Amino acid sequence: MSFMDNKKNKKEPKKKSVDYDEKIRNLEKRLEELENKEEKEEAGTVETVVGQLIPGLGGIVRALEKSSPEFRKRIAQTDAEIQHRLETGWEARPEMKYGISMRPLTNRGATLQKSVKKEPDDLRVVPEEREPIIDIFEENEYISVIAELPGIEEKDIMTELKGNTLEISAGKYCKTIELPSVPKSISERTYKNGVLQLKIERESNAC
C-alpha cells in the first residue's frame, strides 16, 4: 500500500463526521423553520381579541386549540359568529320593548297584547305624588292648618284657596283639603323645619 492510499484512508472518518454534522444542522434548521411557520400562522378572531385584552393569553388559547379538538371546534364556531356579526353589522342602538297585557276574567286563556317600542332616551321617570300629613284646627275667627312637608324648600310651596277648599302643592306633595267653613283669605303663613302653618280668615257671616 502506498503512502497516498494511507493518507486517503485517514481522511475518510473526518469526512463522515463532517457529513453527520451537516445533517444535524440541516435538521435543526428545518425544525426552526417549522416553528417559525407555526408562529406566523394567522390567529383566529377570538385569539386576537383575547390577546389584546390580556397579553399572553392568546398563546394559551392557541395551545388549547392544538391539544383539544373540542376546544378548537368551539373556537371556530365563535370565530364564525363574530365574523358574521361584523359582516352584517351590529345594531347601532339598543331597542327596548314593553308589553301591555289585558286578560278578561271570563276567559283566562285569551290574551290581548299590545307591544310598544320606546327608545331609551324617551323614557322618563315620573315622580310619585304623596299626600302630606294635615291637621286642621277651627277657631272663632280663623282656621289653622298645619302640613308636614319634609325635604321641601319654602319657595317651592304653593297654596291656593278655591271655594271651600285649600290646595297645597310642594314638590312631590299634593293635597286638596275641604275646609270646615267658608274661607276668606290666608292671613298668615310660616314654614320651619319642614312644617307649614297657615292661618286662614273665615268669612264674617260664617259660624
pLDDT tens track for 81-125: 777 777 776 554 555 555 555 555 555 555 555 555 555 555 555
Q: How many domains does the chain have?
A: 2
Tell me, what's the pLDDT at 16?
Answer: 58
- Residues 6 or more apart in contact with residue 144 via CB below 8 angstroms: 136, 137, 138, 197, 198, 199, 200
CATH of the domain at 159: 2.60.40.790
Percent of the chain scoring above 70 in pLDDT: 52
Other C-beta atoms closer than 10 Å to the C-beta of 166 total 23
Q: Tell me, yes or no, whether 83 and 137 share the same domain.
A: no
Alpha-carbon gap, residue 163 to 207, rounded angstroms: 16
Residues 20 and 78 grouped into a single domain: yes
Residue 191 has pLDDT above 90, yes or no: yes
137-185 pLDDT, tens digit per residue, is 888 888 999 999 888 899 999 999 988 899 998 888 898 989 888 888 9
pLDDT of residue 92: 47
Check residues 138 and 49 and name the one with the higher pLDDT: 138
- Residue that terminates a domain, selected from 57, 88, 119: 88
User: Considering only CA atoms, which of 77, 41, 82 is closest in space to residue 62?
Assistant: 41
Residue 117: per-residue pLDDT = 56
Q: How far apart are CA 144 and CA 136, in angstroms?
A: 6
In a domain, 175, yes or no: yes
- Judge whether 95 lies within some domain: no
| Domain end point (choices 27, 58, 88) | 88
Domain that holds residue 15: 3-88
Using only the alpha carbons of the chain, give its radius of gyration: 45
Q: Single out the residue of 112, 117, 116 nearest to residue 101, CA to CA.
A: 112
Rounded-to-10 torsion of CA 11, 16, 20, 22? 60
Quote the pLDDT of residue 69.
72
Predicted TM-score of the model (pTM): 0.38
